[in-house]
Chains A and B, each alone.
Chain A
Amino acid sequence: MPTQSDDLLWISSLRFLLKHPWQLALSILGVALGVAMVVSIDLSNSSAQRAFSLSAEAVAGKATHEIVGGGEQLSEQVYRHLRIDGGIRNAAPVVQGFGRLDGLARSFQILGVDPIAEGPFRDFSSQESGIDLASFIQGSATGLVSNPVLQELALEVNDTVGVSVGGVVVPIRIVGTIEVANERTEQALESVLVVDISTAQRLFDMRGDLSRIDLILSAEQQEQQDQLQIIRSLLPDGVEVQYAGSSSETLAQMTRAFELNLQALSLLALLVGMFLIYNTMTFSVVQRLPLIGRMRALGVTKSEILAMIMREAVLVGLIGTMVGIASGIALAQLLVRLVTQSINDLYFVLSVQELTITPGPILKATLLGLGATVLAAFWPAREASEAQVTTVLKRSNRESALMKRLPRFTGLGIVLGLVGGSLLLIPSGGIVVGYISLLLVIIGFSLTIPACMVGLASLFRPVLGALNGIIGTMSVQGLLSELSRTSVPVAALVVAVASTVGVGVMVDSFRVTVVSWLESQLQADIYVQPPSSVARFADAELLPELVEVLQQTQGVERVHSVYSETITANFGPTNLVTTSLGALAQQTYEIKRAESGFWDRFPNQRVVMVSEVYAYRHSVSLGDTIQLQTDKGLQEFLIEAMYYDYASDLGSVTMNREVYDRFYDNRAISGLALYASEGTPVEVLVERLRERADGLQEVFIRSNRGLREASIEIFDRTFTVTYVLRLLAVIVAFVGILSSLMALQLERAREHAVLRANGMTPGQLWNYVIVQTGVMGGMAGILSLPLGVIISYVLVYVINLRSFGWTLEFLVSPSLLFQAFGLAVLAALLAGMYPSIKMAQANPAHALRSE
């Protein structure tokens, strides 16, 4: 129960807050913005993860293990052998792939099953669930979708929908719907098309092959081992049994670094938010110091004062957090699409239709929002409560105290910065250590800001003095005389603006690197690719007859092909790229390191090159061997070169086709590069090829330039979410500058009244305030540049390297820096506008009388 005195104190603080609605609103906004970013990123990440695990759960069903081949395919002979000769019962064949349904803008998992074997595995595709075998297994291209999907398609049972797989459209008749029992199932099946295995084999051109065989083995350890042993004895070379979750787990892990980076960006926003909270709480304390002094004199205890301020913080934190969560959820609606798009472009097909709001992110945001507010308010609150009753009435004490402490502050900042910097030098440090050191560097830098401001002031003073006379000098000096109050918003601004610089420079660097890499990579004149479900991977194949036709087109001088598939290596699923270039590959691949004589061996010996990302992810280097599952069993290959590759952060292994053909039976091609003969204009040849391909398969036939533009477009798309986050950080920074400077100036109303009373005209006061906020903005802008560059340096050379293993060119574009500086100054000027106009219009006597 609150005592009477508690209530009085509380009413007093409530009064104060309500009397300063701007300040209250701005501090709530500070918390809300930070929380909103954390919530939205967290929610969109977790929605993506949930969508992924749900659809993985749906398609894996109750399988405990699965049998997979060395390559992407597995001969169905293995299944026959298991069933007939091995008598293995709990086994179900699966042919799986991706495609699009006409009228729906998302990829579908196409699950090809044998309904008769499905019973123990997936209830929605089993004979027992009511699938009409007569219409389903006869190979007449029929399928099942969930009821909501059918509604989405605006179709009815027995209608036909066009299903496009790798550029070939096939009409599939929907012969029934999957009735989902609950929302979770509905979500899991929202992008699943169930077809018979024969239909799937035709769709994916996998006659005689399966994607995998699902198994249910005993939960009892010994029994399971026995079963495994029997099954393994039945499997040919290169075919393996693994846990059912293994492949989807590996898939989910691929995005971990990506998601961690998004999270870090959102935490950076919260950090900026914390600065803003600290700033506003400090203000509200400083403003009330006289009041607090009187309260202390009247017998209010220290702890009561502390509690009062902390309760205010809790209120602000709570409201800010709630507003933040609500707006975070709204923002997440947008972000989830961007995150999904990036995952689709980079990693695997993922369809997230809706946002899933889970307790985790909300709870985390609540703790972060409240915690950050309370934490940021603690020091001002303690300072207020510990102030001496007599001295608290005098502000000059505080100022002189800060001035005295300035060297200590600066020293601490430098030490923190150095600790952060040296943490970066630990080569084995992970991403988390990278972010911790980044945090230390930022905090260290912000501690040196008061000293930097003193230094900058001595530069600004003469300049402004010359330009603006006495008012110019006064504005600058005014900042220093209240350094304890002015340095906090400046620090907040520096961090906010610097983080936008950091992220901006990182993305720029990345983009420049990719563009120049594309230049060297794309040597041929024309590229032919089937549409694939994941933009960065070629997971579809060209029809052999199309390859034939294109090769024999007039004007094509020579051709080389690539093939890309996911195979199993000793390091897990690995993207194996096969090129037919042989030694000519040295013209297109940018080699980072290679053994001498590598190009002599590459064409026909057991050597491969790996991308630097692959080498980083799996810690392999030149001279190591890699074991690949081939159709001839597990085979070893020597890694003899490492190349730059920015197509995927999962990395790839490249082998010459001639070598590949010795170990694999697959003769498929997933991309074709053509060189125009002398005198044939590329655009003409592109048209000619398109005509010839017409009706065979829907493929992309693009000139060198066309493909480059398309690739850059995909790149930009995958970074959309980063751009959006950066934009949000800019908004946070802008609001921060606006709010803290406006609060600062509003709070100085009495001081301004004194100036007016002493004869300053309204115009001069306006000038004074605008110049002063402008100087603060300018200082923040200037100081944010080195910190921004440091942040981007860490992002590019530490965080990115540790997350993905990429070597990026470091590029700081002047326009970006100018933009950041402009942002700071503009926001500062805007912030000064309202208080200065208000001050200029106010009656100084009135302002003074309130004393």
Chain B
Amino acid sequence: MKLSFLQLISIPIVLAILFGVVLFSETEPELESTVSVAEAMGGGNQEGYLQATGPRDFVFPDDHGAHPGYKTEWWYYTGNVFTAEGRQFGYQFTIFRNQLSPPTEISTGIGDSTETGDSSEHETPTDSIDPKKSSEDDWSTDQLYLAHFAISDVAEADHVFEERFSRGAAGLAGAEIDPYRVWLENWSIERLPNSGKNDQSFPMRLHGEMSDGTAIDLKLQPEKPLIFHGDQGYDQKGFDSGNASYYISFTRMETQGEIVKDGKVYHVTGNSWMDHEWSTSALDSGQTGWDWFSIQLSNGYDLMYYQIRNADASQQPQTTGTLVDPLGNTIDLEELEVMLDILEYWQSPHSGSRYPKRWTLKMPELDIYLELGTLFDDQEMRVSVQYFEGNLGVSGQMRGKEVSGTGFIEMTGYEQD
């Protein structure tokens, strides 16, 4: 019996402390989790979607609205506007529609029998309330909407942008035709009461506000009729059938309104351009992206031109272009010679991507020679997809006369691997 009190008592105390340390040493961690999902359905799979396979009969106002069944669709608004003092802003305001799964797979809800096969025995009374549903009441949807909004402040060489998402349901986002309204929450373009005449060239209001307060509120009035690109609006992009889109534009819209940036309100006027395009697949395999130009010239002409780049640089790019005269008559550039040469590049410090920044555009048959350049370098959109969307300065000659102009350049597919 040689154990002292302290020795004896220290055994359980040490044990208890050890126990306590082991038990309670872990500090309370944050609640944290991620989701692992079953293989995403139909990524890149186009089966079951509608395809743009040939010219269609456009019907308005219906075709201003959404075309569910096609996988993607966008309403693309860009513009160059100026304050009275001449300060220039570019804006991009785009609402995208994305169909999440082929239309045939749309299920009707709980108790639906498309997936379990034997679910007839699961039929529940819940089904019986389905017929009552109105579109606003229903949150279930296969339509996902995205919106990109950017302001290019040329004077400050400052490009601010934001992306938003919403389901195309419950009244949160959508595209309606009567009256025209394309919106994602509080970002929207909607038709203003018409002064009467042309139902296809209605005035509209475009407004949105970013989280940091940058905002836009513009009134747009088309000055030319709706333009149908390619073959009466059917725009073949790849060589494969179905790799095409339906593509219509308002190439020149008189624009006035307000831009709010960094807490300041700017009253602006200028020109806007609207593209509405829908398709299921546009690019062939082997095509990596496109360089797309929209140009509004001082002589009243508008020019849309894009080329689709191939991974294999030796291949001829697929191009489409439309020249619109001041009255709205179009010349398809398909059969004409267009030479686009890159003069200079800019490498994005954010993504490392290398984008062209200056070009010459020559169309000898039309006697058009233009020099194009981004108004400042960093107009890269780094959102769920990465691309470049920036405003352009334009100068050169057309039919022997000096012309200038403004425009937008969109470049996709420049991501570094």
Q: Known interface pairs A14-B3, A116-B165, A137-B167. Does A168 touch B124 (Cβ–Cβ under 8 Å)?
A: yes
Given the complex, which residues of A lie within 8 Å of B106, measured CB to CB?
A: 138
Q: How far is the CA of A356 from the CA of B250 in the complex (A)?
A: 65
Inter-chain contact A124/B35, CB cutoff 8 Å: yes
**Residues of A close to B124: CB separation below 8 A:** 168-170
Contact B28 A184 (CB under 8 A): yes
Output the residue of B32, B34, B211 with the most chain A CB within 10 A.
B34
> Which of B4, B30, B167 has a CB less than 8 Å from the CB of A116?
B167
Q: Among the listed B31, B107, B170, B209, which residue makes an inter-chain contact with A87, where contact means beta carbons less than 8 Å apart?
A: B209
Residues of A close to B41: CB separation below 8 A: 132, 134-135
**Residue pair A199, B142 in contact (C-beta under 8 Å):** no
User: What 0/1 pattern do residues 105 to 124 of B give for CB contact below 8 A with A?
Assistant: 01111111011100100101
Bound CA–CA A774/B325 (angstroms): 119
User: For residue B183, which residue of chain A has the nearest CB?
Assistant: A84
Q: Per-residue CB proximity of A183-221 to B under 8 Å, as 1/0? A: 111001100000011110111010110000000000000
**Is A555 engaged at the interface, CB distance under 8 Å to the other chain?**
no
Known: A134-B100, A319-B12, A322-B12. A176 touches B38 (CB 8 A): yes
CB distance from B96 to the nearest CB of A (A): 14
Cβ-neighbour of B100 out of A58, A83, A138, A168 (below 8 A):
A138
In the bound complex, what is the Cα–Cα distance between A369 and B128 (angstroms)? 63
Stretch with Cβ within 8 A of B (4 or more), from A31-39, A310-318, A650-658: A310-318
- Cα distance A140–B167 in the bound complex, in angstroms: 15
Residues on the B chain within 8 Å of A2, using CB: 4-6
Complex Cα–Cα for A354 and B144 (A)? 40
Interface presence of B140 (CB below 8 A): yes
Give chain B interface residues in 1-48, CB to chain A under 8 Å: 1, 3-6, 8-9, 12-13, 15-16, 20, 23-24, 28-38, 40-42
> Would you call A105 an interface residue if the criterion is a C-beta within 8 Å of the partner chain's C-beta atoms?
no
* B100 neighbours in A (Cβ, 8 Å): 133-134, 137-138
Interfacial residues of chain A within 143-185, with CB under 8 A of chain B in the complex = 144, 146, 157-158, 160, 162, 168-171, 173, 175-185
Chain B residue with minimal CB distance to A81? B171
Q: Is B126's beta carbon under 8 Å from chain A?
A: yes
A202 touches B35 (CB 8 A): no
Known: A319-B12, A696-B125. A80 touches B171 (CB 8 A): yes
Q: How far is the CB of B186 from chain A (nearest CB, A)?
A: 4
List which B24-81 residues lie within 8 A (CB) of chain A. 24, 28-38, 40-42
Q: Is A412 an interface residue (CB 8 A)?
A: no
Please tell me if A508 contacts chain B, counting CB pairs below 8 Å: no
Nearest A residue to B112, CB-CB: A140
Q: Is the interface of B mostly helix, strand, loop or mixed?
A: loop
> Contacts A129-B33, A697-B125; is A170 near B111 (CB within 8 Å)?
yes
Q: Given A158-B38, A697-B125, check contact A114 B167 (CB 8 Å).
A: yes
- Interface residue tally on B, bucketed by range: 35 or more
Q: State whether the Cβ of A590 lies closer than 8 Å to any Cβ in chain B.
A: no
Instruction: Point out the residues of chain B lying under 8 angstroms from A667, CB to CB.
Output: none
Does B133 touch A at the CB level, under 8 Å? yes
CB of B137 within 8 Å of the partner chain? yes
Contact of A171 among B12, B24, B37, B119 (CB under 8 A): B119
Contacts of A188 in B (CB 8 A): 31
- Chain A minimum-CB-distance residue to B144: A133
Closest Cβ neighbor of B3 among chain A residues: A14
A355 shortest CB reach to chain B, Å? 12
> How distant is the Cα of A134 from the Cα of B185 in the complex, in angstroms?
20
> Does A11 lie at the interface of the complex (its beta carbon under 8 Å from any beta carbon of B)?
yes
Q: Is B101 an interface residue (CB 8 A)?
A: yes
A188 to B29, CA, bound (A): 12
Task: Give the docked Cα–Cα distance between A158 and B37 (Å).
Answer: 10
- Say yes or no: A83-B186 contact (C-beta < 8 A), given A123-B32, A175-B37: yes
Interface bits B121-153 vs A (CB < 8 Å: 1, else 0) = 010111011001100111111101000000000
Q: A134 touching B35 by the CB < 8 A rule?
A: no
The interface residues of chain B lying within 8 Å CB-to-CB of A181 are 29-30, 32-34
A83, B119: Cα distance in complex, Å: 37
Question: What's the minimum C-beta distance from A209 to chain B, rounded to whole angstroms?
Answer: 9
In the complex, what residues of A have CB within 8 A of residue B6's CB?
2
Contacts of B108 in A (CB 8 A): 139
User: B40 — nearest CB in chain A belongs to which residue?
Assistant: A132
A185 with B33, Cβ < 8 A, contacts A80-B172, A138-B101, A359-B20 known: yes
Q: Is the CB of B172 within 8 A of A83?
A: yes
Report if A89-B211 is in contact (Cβ < 8 Å); known contacts: A134-B41, A322-B12, A545-B125: yes
Q: Are B34 and A179 in contact (CB under 8 A)?
A: yes
Task: State whether A315 and B37 are in contact (beta carbons under 8 Å apart), knowing that A137-B141, A207-B129 are contacts in the complex.
Answer: no
Which of A83, A124, A139 contacts B107 (CB under 8 A)? A139
For residue B40, which residues in chain A have a CB less than 8 angstroms away from its CB? Answer: 132, 134
Q: How far is the CB of B17 from chain A (nearest CB, A)?
A: 11
* Cβ-closest chain A residue relative to B142: A138
Q: Does B166 contact A (CB under 8 A)?
A: yes
Q: In the assembled complex, which residues on chain B have CB atoms less than 8 Å from the CB atom of A366? A: 16
A134/B33 in contact, CB under 8 A: no
Bound CA–CA A129/B41 (angstroms): 17
Chain B residues with CB below 8 A from A146, complex form: 33
B200 to nearest A CB, angstroms?
27
Looking at B35, B38, B126, the one whose CB has the most chain A CB atoms below 10 A away is B35
Instruction: List residues of A whose CB falls within 8 A of some B CB.
Output: 2, 6-7, 10-11, 14-15, 54, 57-58, 76, 79-80, 83-87, 89, 114, 116, 123-125, 127, 129-135, 137-141, 144, 146, 157-158, 160, 162, 168-171, 173, 175-185, 188-189, 196-199, 201-203, 205, 207-208, 311, 314-315, 318-319, 322, 357-359, 362, 366, 543, 545, 696-697
Told that A157-B38, A315-B9 touch, could you supply 12 new A-B pairs with CB distance under 8 A? A7-B4, A127-B165, A131-B37, A140-B114, A141-B110, A146-B33, A160-B115, A171-B119, A207-B129, A207-B132, A208-B137, A311-B5
Instruction: Give the top 8 A-B pairs by smallest Cβ distance, nearest first.
Output: A139-B140, A181-B32, A198-B139, A198-B140, A176-B37, A134-B100, A140-B107, A124-B33
> Can you list 26 contacts pairing A with B, beta carbon distance less than 8 Å?
A2-B5, A7-B5, A14-B1, A84-B183, A124-B35, A127-B165, A132-B37, A134-B142, A139-B107, A140-B115, A170-B126, A173-B115, A176-B35, A177-B36, A179-B33, A179-B36, A184-B31, A198-B109, A198-B141, A199-B140, A201-B139, A315-B8, A315-B9, A319-B12, A359-B24, A697-B125
